[in-house]
Structure 1
Amino acid sequence: MRIVDLFSGAGGLTFGFYYSLINGEFVRNENCEIVFANEFDEAAAQAFCINFPDVNMIHKNIKDFKEEEIQELIGEEQIDLIIGGPPCQSFSTIGKRKYDDKAQLYNEYYRMLSMIEPRMFLFENVKGMLSMRDEDGNLVINDIENKFRHINEELGYNIQYRVLNAVNFGVPQYRERVFIIGIRNDLDIEWEFPTGLDGVPTISLEEAISDLPIVEPGGELNDYLNNNPVNNYQRLMRGNNANLTCHFSALYGEKIQTIVNHVIPGEGKDYINGLVDQGVLEEKYRLTSGYSNTYGRLLPNQPCTTITKNLSTPSGLRCIHYNQNRGLTPREGARIQSFPDWFQFNGNRYQIKTQIGNAVPPLLAMELANQIERLIG
């Protein structure tokens, strides 16, 4: 398959097409050629280049592409597939939802379809996109369907979309995302979304990250400290990796650290305020802002809640380690997303966490890639 990769980020969706999973190892999938990729964020684009050095990464605003440049990049051969999803923050049900320039970047996806005319496309975004409305009150998903079904008088795509939960595909995380599949209307292809991995047990948070060494608040480790993997998921994530990266924790102020020390697995803000009501904690520790799941400690025996760019911020969401008094490290977040330990991220700490939190989990991407490759590979 010849693939064009848009809004690639650090490459979570890319990973699913670039690699196959064979005998418990990630192996390069030679059937997939990523002709070029595009990412606007410099740190994410550099991370992509580190991990996929043979892919032509075009670091620029997608709006600046001209048709002549696109045709030069793709050459004479047919492009089989476009993958990627525009930035999702505008559609998220957490925080302020607004139909801003980022929310309208699906129009650039539409423009790329009109120039490249691939056989299929795979578009990913947060579930909140399904309920997002434009400035006229119309559902964005309806606008996407209408535009992508009728690119021009001759070209259009048959559209299907479904919300998939990463936990059903071997990812130790409850993470719902909407995936839109488009099949060019001149092709006689029937698409069925994968439903999940049959007979594969759900992986808990503890099973995913328990082999990673203990990190104190404010600390960082670059070594496994002779901790050995204890299950197949950990062995897959380790591969032949020798040195840890991105396994660091923030240093908290006294109030936050006290709250982190006292919250128990499965509890959060309301539990802490209950301790204040009981006199266990002083009034100064009462939490007056945030959602009920903020300052929450994760449960070890269940998959993790959704990883976001706030994966290390106790005040942002439920992200406190199940038995260590700190938020998740970026490497733990990457493990929970199903990035192997040898996958590199780039930039400052905020940029690294954003690259992890925004990504499509590679194992989920791999199942979609397998399904698409069976159809058009």
Structure 2
Amino acid sequence: MARKPRAVAGERIAGSAIDRLRAFAVDRATVRDAAIATAGGLDNLWTKARTAEAGPVDVVDMFAGCGGMSAGFLAVNALVPAYRLAMAVDIDALAMRTYERNLGLKPSLLNLHDYAEDQSAIVREVNARRSSPDAPLVLIGCAPCQGFSSHRNAEGEGDERNSLFLTFAKVAVAIGPDAIIVENVPEVTTDRYWPVVRRARRMLEEAGYHVVLTAHDMSEFGVPQHRFRAVMIGLRRPFVMPRGFLSGTARRTVRQAIGHLPAVLPGQISPHDAMHRSAGHRVSTVETIKAVPVDGGNRPSHVGPDCLRRVGERQGRAAYEDVYGRLWWNRPAITITGHARNPASGRYVHPEQHRGLTVREAALLQGFPSTWQFEGSVGPAFMQVGNAVPPPFAAFLATHLLGELFGPAVEKTDREVDILHSLGPSFSRLIPALKAGHRTLHDRMARA
């Protein structure tokens, strides 16, 4: 049976820990400044955060992966004791090992599919990990995104991974946390997947939660890449949604993120950092990369695999220009995916060096602390990075959330950026105009 939502987090807990959070959250402008500082300075705060005093708010991270979202929540403790990582759940053994190595908590090997019909067992598991039954609780559910991805758009609602979205909503209702956080690819806001998202949202609303769904470019939150993501938040009282703090040329760039790293050859491991290693490349791949102009250059139409040249000849112009393309030094990277190790997968070639990205470079472009260690070989490490929530965004969100859970109440939920209807057949078609600044997500939401 679902727990009845309470209006104020920690209302039945007395003590200095909650009082400190209420004092921290008394002014929303101050909380926003702190959120910006945490997101922008996460790497510098990380050493302190790992050993800082835990806070009174329990965090349960479903689909935790290698720990991107949890890292952001833990980083807040460098400013104020706020969060305690109570439980993490995943089914990827290597990602779980990475999570434990960096965050000190061993994730539970649980498959949420097993709780689609009966959530009582997972409720018991969560309750057993909580610091107390009355402790404020944040439940995070970043379900595997591939089922919703535009690269897998044939399966639609029938894809098993899409049902995880609904199962998570059922689990959330059964657990009854104070806050629910969902992050996923923006395709969840499009026609094909909208019925799944609408049903999940309705479940939460019928359980008493105020729910808002929006979408952001993670570069607005200090992540040095263009990465559009859908974010759904549910709270037990009216709340204000987070908004980014960077735009235009103020966004963090590739140079700011990785420009300080030493040069390495393809497949070579840096003697200073075992994560600073790229995949090995064939001689033909290296020759193709050498022909690509530095700093954002595209692959010339006459070089590269025969299949690309044949397509280009049929079209009368270069085909798939991003393939083997170089990143720009002074722009954010493109979206870092699990396949970013392969120069043939997109614009994933180093701006100057003749190779693809290293694990460390990809992790820094995703916003991970510079000391983060990944378990597994290059391929699995890249998959962990590409599937992760960028920690700077998670840190901003976690700080912002303190203002909504413990700060002064607002009269009504912020609906300005709420997506209430499908944004159309494809989100990816909107991205070029969004990047160019010809339209904004909020404009598109208003017309939906």
Contact 1:272 1:286 in 2 (8 A): no
Partner of 2:241: 192
Measured in 2, the distance between the counterparts of 1:112 and 1:79 equals: 17
TM score, norm. by length of structure 1: 0.81
Aligned to 1:34, the other structure's residue is in SS state strand
Partner of 2:181: 122
Contact 2:68 2:394 in 1 (8 A): yes
Partner of 1:37: 88
Q: From 133, 137, 142, give the equivalent of 1:85.
A: 142
Measured in 2, the distance between the counterparts of 1:13 and 1:29 equals: 18
Q: From 287, 292, 298, give the equivalent of 1:258.
A: 287
Residue 203 (1) aligns with residue 252 (2):
yes
What is the Cα deviation at residue 193 of structure 1? 2.0
More helix by share: 2
Aligned to 1:216, the other structure's residue is in SS state coil
Residue 293 (1) aligns with residue 322 (2):
yes
Aligned to 2:349, the other structure's residue is in SS state coil
Contact 1:40 1:62 in 2 (8 A): no
Partner of 1:232: none
CA distance 1:288–1:56, change in 2 (3 Å): same
Residue 272 (1) aligns with residue 324 (2):
no
Aligned to 2:329, the other structure's residue is in SS state coil
Q: From 88, 100, 111, give the equivalent of 1:49.
A: 100
Query: What is the CA deviation profile of residues 239-265 of structure 1, one whole-angstrom value per residue up to 9, with x for unaligned ones?
Result: xxxxx2311122222332221111124
Contact 1:5 1:36 in 2 (8 A): yes
Q: From 348, 356, 369, give the equivalent of 2:377.
A: 348
Residue 219 (1) aligns with residue 268 (2):
yes
What is the Cα deviation at residue 110 of structure 1? 1.3
Residue 16 (1) aligns with residue 65 (2):
no
What is the Cα deviation at residue 160 of structure 1? 0.5
Partner of 2:362: 333
Q: From 214, 217, 224, give the equivalent of 1:162.
A: 214
Query: What is the CA deviation profile of residues 31-75 of structure 1, one whole-angstrom value per residue up to 9, with x for unaligned ones?
Result: 10122111111111111111111x352122123461433333335
Unaligned runs of 5+ in 1: 22-26, 224-243
Measured in 1, the distance between the counterparts of 2:388 and 2:307 equals: 37
Q: Give the letter for the 1:86 counterpart.
A: A
Aligned to 1:20, the other structure's residue is in SS state helix
Measured in 2, the distance between the counterparts of 1:87 and 1:68 equals: 24
Partner of 1:141: 197
Measured in 2, the distance between the counterparts of 1:284 and 1:9 equals: 35
Q: Give the letter for the 1:148 counterpart.
A: L
Measured in 1, the distance between the counterparts of 2:233 and 2:183 equals: 9
CA distance 1:282–1:59, change in 2 (3 Å): closer
Measured in 2, the distance between the counterparts of 1:112 and 1:191 equals: 24
Note the aligned Cα RMSD (angstroms). Answer: 2.5
Aligned to 2:398, the other structure's residue is in SS state helix
CA distance 1:376–1:287, change in 2 (3 Å): farther
